[in-house]
Amino acid sequence: MEEYILKVFSKSTLRYFDAVAGGGAALGTPYLGGETESAGLGFSAVIGISGTYRGNIYYTASREKLFTLLPVLGESKPDEMLCAELVGEITNTISGNAREQLGGGFMISPPFMLQARPLSVHPVRNVPLYVIPITWRQHASRLLIALSKEPDAAEEPARPSA
Amino acid sequence: MKLLIVDDSLIMRRAIERCVAGDKFTEIRVAVNGREAVEEFERFKPDVVTMDITMPEMDGLDAVARILRKNPGAVILIVSALADKSTAVEAIKRGAAGFLLKPISIESITEALDDILSD
């Protein structure tokens, strides 16, 4: 299950950077993270997952990376607020795109943004925390995945989460 | 023409606004969730709406249904990251005129708006 999930999110992450930044993103080897990941890289967002899976998806990036990416998106005057908004949108887009493979039962919440605050990543019910390192224009960011499959959940609920 | 952009993401609202700047839209307003979208639609009476799905308070699919119940001729383009087919089918069932998958480009949003406005 873990290998499949990692492939799904790797594809979704590369698709994001291909579409908005003309590519150039490289993914490192995923690894099992621990509570040390809670520090984040400065700007972070978390999305809650429910339905056929349960857990959280986090994305964290440095101010430098976001200040480089924002002008590529057309934002000529990057600031802290736009950085916080951008990590939220990246987390939302990567998680939402993952439904192409994971189905409509993979229900996502709106993103919750954390600026200069820890991610508060805690091990949940023995759910492993996988970290996908992302490098774009020499700037590092990370996608964190903590998911468990719900054994009794329906595969394809009729509609997405609010 | 009047455009209502509905998205809880400031980044997306600004991106769509930039994409259509200088285009046919002379008046653009924004809403940050489905509830605001329903209210703003009644006040603004836009020619077209871009609607996100995953938003707090009221999601975009509920907002589409509520807007169309009172305004059967409303033209609504869903702009969402939810990439599964069932969501796109559900959006069209509820009356959306089109579905555009995020991440978007200038070309994709202008083409999608042109398509639904020419129908």
Asked if ipTM goes beyond 0.90, one says: yes
Inter-axis angle of helices B10-20 and A80-97, to 10 degrees?
90
User: Which whole-number Å values give the CA distances from A83 to A75, A159, B49, B54, in the listed order?
Assistant: 10, 30, 26, 20
- Segments forming the whole domain that contains residue B79: 2-107
Taking the alpha carbons of B61, B63, B66, B69 in that order, is the dihedral positive or negative? Answer: negative
- DSSP letters for A90-109: HHHHHHHHTHHHH-TTEEEP
Q: Which residue of B has its CA nearest to A89?
A: B9
Lowest mean pLDDT among A4-18, A33-47, A109-123, A134-148: A109-123
CA distance A161 to B68: 20
- Burial call A116-154: b when 16+ CB within 10 Å, e when fewer: eeebebeeeeeeebbbbebebeebebbbbbbbeeeeeee
CATH number of the domain residue B39 falls in: 3.40.50.2300
Per-residue pLDDT, A158: 43
Tell me if chain B has a CB within 8 Å of the CB of A16.
yes
Q: Do A19 and B103 touch (CB under 8 A)?
A: yes
Q: Do B54 and A161 touch (CB under 8 A)?
A: yes
Domain boundaries, chain A: 3-150
Inter-axis angle of helices A63-72 and A80-97, to 10 degrees?
80
Give the gap in angstroms from C-alpha A70 to the nearest C-alpha of chain B.
9
**Alpha carbons within 13 A on the beta-carbon side of B62:** 13
Pairing of strands B2-6, B27-31: parallel
Q: Is residue B115 included in any domain, yes or no?
A: no
Q: How many structural domains are present in chain B?
A: 1
> Are A95 and B81 spatial neighbours (Cβ–Cβ below 8 Å)?
yes
Q: Is residue B118 included in any domain, yes or no?
A: no
Per-residue pLDDT, A157: 45
Confidence of residue A78 (pLDDT cuts 50, 70, 90): very high
Q: Is residue B117 included in any domain, yes or no?
A: no
Q: Do B80 and A73 touch (CB under 8 A)?
A: no
pLDDT at A117 over 90: no
**Shortest CB distance from A85 goes to which of B11, B80, B90?**
B11
pLDDT tens readout for residues A15-28: 999 999 988 999 99
Q: Per-residue pLDDT averaged across A113-140, rounded?
A: 83
For the domain spanning A3-150, the CATH number is: 3.40.1550.10
Per-residue pLDDT, B49: 98
Q: Give the amino acid at A136.
A: W
Burial class (CB in 10 A: 0-12, 13-18, 19+), A4: exposed
For each of chain B's 119 residues, which pLDDT tens digit applies? Answer: 999 999 999 999 999 999 998 878 999 999 999 999 999 999 999 999 999 999 999 999 999 999 999 999 999 999 999 999 999 999 999 999 999 999 998 889 999 999 999 87
Q: pTM of the entire structure?
A: 0.92
Q: Per-residue pLDDT averaged across A42-63, rounded?
A: 95
- Burial call B69-80: b when 16+ CB within 10 Å, e when fewer: eebeebbbbbbb
Mean of the per-residue pLDDT values of chain A: 89
CA distance A101 to A99: 5
Query: Pick the residue with more confidence: A23 or A126?
Result: A23
